[in-house]
Amino acid sequence: MANPVILTIDDDPVVSRAVARDLRRHYGERYRIVRAGSGPEALEALREIKLRGERVALLLADYRMPDMTGIEFLEAAMDLFPAARRVLLTAYADTDAAIEAINVVDLDHYLLKPWHPPEEKLYPVVDGLLETWAATPDAALSEIRVVGHRWSAPSFKVRDFLARNLIPYRWLLTDDPEGARLLAAAGATEDEVPLVVTADGKTLVGPTPAELASVVGLTVEPTTDFYDLVVVGAGPAGLGSAVYGASEGLRTVLVERRATGGQAGQSSRIENYLGFPDGVSGAQLTDRARRQALKFGAEMLTTREVVGLTEGGGARLLRFGDGTEIAAHTVVLATGVSYRVLDAPGLAELTGRGVFYGSAATEAPSCVDQDVYIVGGANSAGQAAVHFSRYAARVHLLIRGADLTASMSRYLIDQLDRIDRITVHPHTRVAAGAGGDHLERLTLCDTRTGEQRTVDTSWLFIFIGAEPRTDWLDGVLVRDSRGFIVTGPDLVTGGQRPPGWSLTRDPYHLETSLPGVFAAGDVRAESVKRVASAVGEGAMAVSLVHRYLEAQ
Ligand SMILES: Cc1cc2nc3c(=O)[nH]c(=O)nc-3n(C[C@H](O)[C@H](O)[C@H](O)COP(=O)(O)OP(=O)(O)OC[C@H]3O[C@@H](n4cnc5c(N)ncnc54)[C@H](O)[C@@H]3O)c2cc1C
């Protein structure tokens, strides 16, 4: 197959040649560098590339061009190559326009001209974007193929798992000729899907996450049974702990039951994380953090759920769902929170078949020209509304309250106001969902009058409050009435340390009621529910781990 394309567009021939030259010098062996002098010319080139079945990895467009601005070009190019990474070349004076473009065309980066020296200003940016692209299904050469039904919850689970773990795959329906051929070759029937065929031809019918993880190259088994530090949960807090723990010489393992990134991995664009003025997608941030942790030598286990924590001979023992155990001197619990289930008739049966919790990024392209309903009034629902508005005909945001001011950041409310396709429905709740093999209708209820109406839709995305799933720590650690883990000074009441506390000192700031076990991020009582604070607590927990180990 031909090398993937990097396309650069600039109406100034001198700049255009200079960009192409710098790109060729560094990427010429692995990518084909294509140069265009205007937006229309570049679109024509993209159409030809599409027809030839080639792949486009990166688009670099100048902002100011006479026929078509760079933003207009990138918007049009998204229809042809949605997975290609998008960069705008701007002059300093145009940075405001570039920032605006982030939401319009989901811009990955804007580069200020001139970008010299490229080793510092161009290549690191392009390297990062090409790596992200390489993890998309579009990039895959000898990729994993998933054959399934459009409306099948098990098929959705497999695709969601692969997407969240940034494993490229190709999705084929059972009635697609290639899908049917693969089913026949694997001796599987339509009723048994999803079928997963790996790059080296292994087939898995209806695999469990653990089976899937092991064939796609994710680590599921620890290399030893004793660590300095076990981090439970690979969201921002857990990744923060893993990066700092491993980089500071602790033998560290990060254990995740699902996919790296946690809630943040589901965010289409995190706008308020320090150091990313133009925002960063959850997948990108997660991917970088994961690679950083691995680089420092942390081990990462995926699809391993921790279900028990006990103390044994000075060590902390963690039990997995399959009954096996690992031990460590110290533990950081970074298990975050999960969405609450929306309790309305019909929704449970249709989950994964039109009803989704979180943004289910794999589904967005299927919503083209359709009506999408989103439940929730917090930032996560707002971000999802902006994201889906790029695909859907209309996005309906259902909220119980009168408006969003109490629950959503101002910048997001303003963004929603500016997008015509989004309608906010105040005082509205979902009373029921109905459909055959997938969601077809929702009954909506006015919370003031009780009046009900039915709407036709196949898409409901739910973002309602979240809760910590910490039942497995019942009787082991002090938790508050909602299940959040209590730490540090909050454990000392009226001068009394927590029951069973065995040391002569008070618990350290993020320490739980079991010495040497720390909690960080959203799962911690009174924590700030933000990416930055989760990462910060993850890092801080490691410094307390050191203090604990030194005192042993
Ligand atoms: C859609 C969305 C958009 C958001 N946007 C923003 C934003 O723009 N800015 C911002 O600051 N914040 C945002 N947030 C909030 C932010 O993502 C969270 O505050 C942050 O992810 C919390 O990190 P955490 O590591 O504490 O927990 P989580 O991200 O919840 O990660 C916890 C991880 O632990 C795993 N886990 C749980 N239990 C176990 C177990 N027993 N065994 C093994 N693994 C387990 C989970 O699978 C999960 O991966 C957003 C949240 C969502 C859902």
137-165 confidence digits (pLDDT tens): 666 555 788 999 988 899 999 988 888 88
pLDDT band at 501 (very low <50, low <70, confident <90, very high): very high
Ligand 1 site, residue 194, Cβ cutoff 6 A: no
How high is the pLDDT of residue 67?
A: 83
- Name the residue at shortest CA distance from atom 22 of ligand 1: 522
Most informative mutation of 322, 463, 531 for ligand 1 (most atoms within 8 A of CB): 531
The two three-digit tokens of residue 159, written as one number: 């695709």
Please give the share of the chain, as a percent, with pLDDT higher than 90.
62
Q: What is the rounded average pLDDT of the residues 463-470?
A: 91
Most informative mutation of 231, 335, 337 for ligand 1 (most atoms within 8 A of CB): 335
pLDDT band at 262 (very low <50, low <70, confident <90, very high): very high
How high is the pLDDT of residue 91?
A: 80
For 178-235, write each residue's pLDDT tens digit.
Answer: 888 888 888 899 999 999 998 778 899 999 998 999 888 899 999 999 999 999 999 9
Q: Which whole-number Å values give the CA distances from 542 to 249, 251, 327, 374, 509, in the listed order?
A: 11, 12, 17, 38, 12
How high is the pLDDT of residue 141?
A: 54
The two three-digit tokens of residue 408, written as one number: 């959503």
Measure the CA–CA gap between 529 and 439, rounded to whole angstroms.
32
Q: Ligand 1: distance of its center to the CA of 223 in Å? A: 26
Q: Ligand 1: distance of its center to the CA of 65 in Å? A: 41
Ligand 1 site, residue 272, Cβ cutoff 6 A: yes
Q: Ligand 1: distance of its center to the CA of 489 in Å? A: 24
How high is the pLDDT of residue 137?
A: 63
User: Residue 427 pLDDT > 60, yes or no?
Assistant: yes
Q: Ligand 1: distance of its center to the CA of 58 in Å? A: 29
Lowest average pLDDT, out of 200-214, 244-258, 267-281, 339-353, goes to: 267-281
Determine the atom of ligand 1 nearest the C-alpha atom of 258.
Answer: 47
pLDDT band at 33 (very low <50, low <70, confident <90, very high): very high
Q: Ligand 1: distance of its center to the CA of 314 in Å? A: 30
User: Residue 504 pLDDT > 90, yes or no?
Assistant: yes
Closest CA to 147 of 189, 88, 96: 189
Ligand 1 site, residue 305, Cβ cutoff 6 A: yes
Instruction: Please provide the average confidence, as pLDDT, over all residues in the chain.
Output: 91
Ligand 1 site, residue 306, Cβ cutoff 6 A: yes
Highest mean pLDDT among 138-142, 435-439, 464-468: 435-439
Q: Ligand 1: distance of its center to the CA of 29 in Å? A: 39
How high is the pLDDT of residue 140?
A: 57
Does residue 368 contact residue 392 with C-beta atoms inside 8 Å? yes
Q: Ligand 1: distance of its center to the CA of 308 in Å? A: 21
Measure the CA–CA gap between 547 and 413, rounded to whole angstroms.
43
Lowest average pLDDT, out of 125-129, 139-143, 404-408, goes to: 139-143
The two three-digit tokens of residue 4, written as one number: 């993937």
Measure the CA–CA gap between 7 and 153, rounded to whole angstroms.
38
Ligand 1 site, residue 164, Cβ cutoff 6 A: no
Most informative mutation of 267, 333, 337, 338 for ligand 1 (most atoms within 8 A of CB): 267
Does residue 318 contact residue 301 with C-beta atoms inside 8 Å? no
Q: Ligand 1: distance of its center to the CA of 356 in Å? A: 17
Q: Ligand 1: distance of its center to the CA of 14 in Å? A: 46
**Region label for 273, one of left (φ > 0), alpha (ψ between -120 and 50) or beta (otherwise):** beta
How high is the pLDDT of residue 147?
A: 93
Lowest average pLDDT, out of 167-171, 346-350, 360-364, goes to: 360-364
For 56-108, write each residue's pLDDT tens digit.
Answer: 999 999 998 988 999 899 988 887 788 899 998 888 777 777 777 776 777 88
- Name the residue at shortest CA distance from atom 8 of ligand 1: 270
Ligand 1 site, residue 529, Cβ cutoff 6 A: yes
Does residue 198 contact residue 146 with C-beta atoms inside 8 Å? no
Measure the CA–CA gap between 444 and 485, rounded to whole angstroms.
36
Ligand 1 site, residue 376, Cβ cutoff 6 A: no
Q: Which whole-number Å values give the CA distances from 247 to 239, 242, 292, 295, 462, in the listed order?
A: 12, 8, 9, 9, 38
User: Residue 540 pLDDT > 70, yes or no?
Assistant: yes
Ligand 1 site, residue 267, Cβ cutoff 6 A: yes
Determine the atom of ligand 1 nearest the C-alpha atom of 272.
Answer: 9
> Residues 145, 75, 77, 24: what is their CA dihedral angle, to the nearest 10 degrees?
-100
User: Residue 315 pLDDT > 90, yes or no?
Assistant: yes
Does residue 400 contact residue 425 with C-beta atoms inside 8 Å? no
- Give the residue with greater pLDDT, 135 vs 259: 259
- Name the residue at shortest CA distance from atom 39 of ligand 1: 335
Ligand 1 site, residue 521, Cβ cutoff 6 A: yes
Phi/psi at 330 (5° precision): -140, 160
Determine the atom of ligand 1 nearest the C-alpha atom of 521.
Answer: 26
- Give the residue with greater pLDDT, 494 vs 167: 494
- Give the residue with greater pLDDT, 130 vs 104: 130
Ligand 1 site, residue 379, Cβ cutoff 6 A: yes
Q: What is the rounded average pLDDT of the residues 311-332?
A: 94
Ligand 1 site, residue 383, Cβ cutoff 6 A: yes
